[in-house]
Chains A and B, each alone.
Chain A
Amino acid sequence: MPRGEATIGRVMAQMAMVMNLDKCIGCHTCSVTCKQAWTNRTGVEYVWFNNVETRPGQGYPRCYEDQGRWRGGWELNKRGRLALKAGGRFKKLITIFSNPVLPSLDDYYQPWTYDYETLTNAPLQDHTPVARPKSLITGKDMKISWSANWDDDLGGSAQHGEKDVLLGQVCEKIKLEFEQTFMFYLPRICEHCLNPSCAASCPSGAIYKREEDGIVLVDQDRCRGWRMCVTGCPYKKVYFNHRTGKAEKCTFCFPRVEVGLPTVCSETCVGRLRYIGLVLYDADKVLEAASTPDDTGLYEAQRSVFLDPDDPHVIAAAERAGIPRDWIEAAQRSPVHALINKYRVALPLHPEYRTLPMVWYVPPLSPVVDAVRDSGHDAEDHRNLFAAVDALRIPVDYLAQLFTAGDPAPVDAVLRRLAAMRSYMRDINLGREPDAAIPERVGMGEEQMYDMYRLLALAKYDERYVIPPAHAEQAHKLEELATECSLDYEGGPGMGGSGPFGEASGGAAPIAVETYRALRDRQTSDTPAAPLDKDTRVNLLNWDGKGSPPGLFPPPPPGGDATGHGGGEVEPKP
Chain B
Amino acid sequence: MTAAAQTVTTAAEAGTGGILLWVVLPYLSLAVFVLGHVWRYRYDKFGWTTRSSQLYENRLLRIGSPLFHFGILVVLIGHVIGLLLPESWTAAAGVGETSYHVTAVTLGTVAGVCTLGGLAILIYRRRTVGPVFSATTRNDKAMYVSLTATIALGLAATVDANIAGGGYNYRETVSPWFRSIFSVQPDPHLMSGAPLLYRLHALSAMLLFAAWPFTRLVHMLTAPVGYLTRPYIVYRSRDTRLGARAPRRGWERTG
A residues apposed to B, CB below 8 Å: 89-90, 92-93, 96-100, 102, 104-105, 137-140, 195-196, 199-200, 202-205, 207-213, 219-227, 240, 242-246, 470, 472, 475, 478-479
Contact = CB atoms under 8 A, between A and B. Distances in A.
B127 interface: no
B52 A204 contact: no
Contacts of A240: 52, 55
A226 B236 contact: no
A225 B51 contact: yes
A401 B83 CA distance: 60
Instruction: Identify which of B66, B227, B242 gathers the most chain A CB atoms within 10 Å of its CB.
Output: B227
A195 B52 contact: no
A104 B54 CA distance: 8
A220 B46 contact: yes
B168 interface: no
8 contacts: A97-B66, A195-B233, A202-B227, A205-B230, A211-B237, A221-B46, A240-B55, A243-B135
B9 interface: no
Interface string B220-255: 001011111010111111110010110000000111
A204 B224 contact: yes
Interface of B: 45-46, 48-56, 58, 61-62, 65-66, 68-70, 130-131, 134-135, 219, 222, 224-228, 230, 232-239, 242, 244-245, 253-255
Given A200-B233, A211-B236, A224-B49, A89 B228 contact: yes
B54 A227 contact: yes
A203 B242 contact: no
Given A204-B222, A205-B224, A245-B49, 4 more contacts: A96-B224, A137-B131, A199-B234, A205-B226
B10 to A, nearest CB: 43
Contacts of A90: 228
Given A102-B54, A137-B131, A245-B49, A224 B224 contact: yes
User: Would you call the interface of chain B mostly helix, strand, loop, or mixed?
Assistant: loop
Given A102-B55, A204-B224, A226 B238 contact: no
Contacts of A223: 49
B224 A199 contact: no
A138 B222 CA distance: 31
B125 to A, nearest CB: 12
A210 B237 contact: yes
B228 A209 contact: no
* Nearest 8 Cβ contacts at the A-B interface: A203-B224, A200-B232, A221-B45, A245-B49, A245-B51, A479-B255, A208-B236, A208-B234
A572 to B, nearest CB: 41
Given A97-B70, A140-B130, A209 B233 contact: yes
A203 B227 contact: yes
A199 B232 CA distance: 7
B61 A138 contact: no
Contacts of B230: 205
Contacts of A139: 130, 134
